Amino acid sequence: MNWRAASAPPRSSPGLTSTCSRAAHWRDRGGAAAHAVLANVPQGRTLRDDAADLGWKPNHKFKGKLILTAPDAMPVDLNGVTITIAGPLQDELQALQDMHDQWLRQRKADPTRPPASAMLAAFVDKSVPNLSSIVLLAECGGKTMLLTGDARGDKIIEGLETTGKLAKDETLHVDILKVPHHGSDNNMETSFFERVTADHYVFSGNGDYGNPERATLQMLLDARGVAEDFTIHLTYPIEEIDAGREADWVKQQAKEAGRAKPPKGGVRPDWSAEEQGLVAFFANNPELAAHLIDLLDKAVV
């Protein structure tokens, strides 16, 4: 097994709209509410505005309707790439709509209420926006790639089973798996890595919010072991990731210590590079061969 640390541009934006056809059922949320559900994700709004500047119309083939998976959803061929939608499920989109509708009612009652983007930021660690992530299984030339957004592992499994791509109690193997939510352990269980295996695992976190979490990497190793042949790809140098993770750890420790009621299990201990760091994690697993890839994305002065 190998891991590859690579400098890369900032992480991809969550909450993007889809332009696939026949890959899922489309649901018209209607007027301003439908527009607002898409617009309350800041990065999604930026993408929408950029598309408008380029003359592109998001989902123009489907009249702006939203995407979700369903048992009778059909895959779509996009210039030789077969796309299957494995998420979100209808209940997850409904939960997102309900959350936004609640904000609209509160906003109407109190015009001074923060904008929708601020409301969404308050939910950054909650499940409602993340569970509405679009999950795509792309297939081309005998190769497969599973793109998971910020979806939770059990919901990805449910979506794959719903589409028939993953049979009950069976496993699915793909060439590339983008690990959900930048490798957050809030979204993962070892069982996910047992059900969905890959030749290449991509962790896109740079240390912000503690991601990728060491616990997630441990889950992967527990599921696959060191004897199997697979590669772990990191999109930032490992030392940079650990620096970001340590900063977040210290920040969260201070928050826990400042609470009137201590968190269950008490305040987290001081950061330990040996116990929490990814550098130590890979050092403690010498079977992993370190390989740094320079993507030349940084400006040269």
So where are the chain's domains?
A: 2-11+18-26+67-88+133-293
CB 201 within 8 Å of CB 233: yes
Mean pLDDT across 144-155: 92
pLDDT tens-digit readout, 197-247: 999 999 988 999 999 999 999 999 999 998 888 999 998 999 999 999 999
Please tell me the predicted confidence (pLDDT) of residue 99. Answer: 79
- Residue 269, pLDDT above cutoff 80: yes
Quick one: pLDDT at residue 25? 36
Kindly state the average pLDDT of the residues 144-154. Answer: 92
State the pLDDT at residue 70. 80
Residues 6+ apart with CB under 8 A from 59: 17, 18, 19, 65, 67
pTM of the model: 0.75
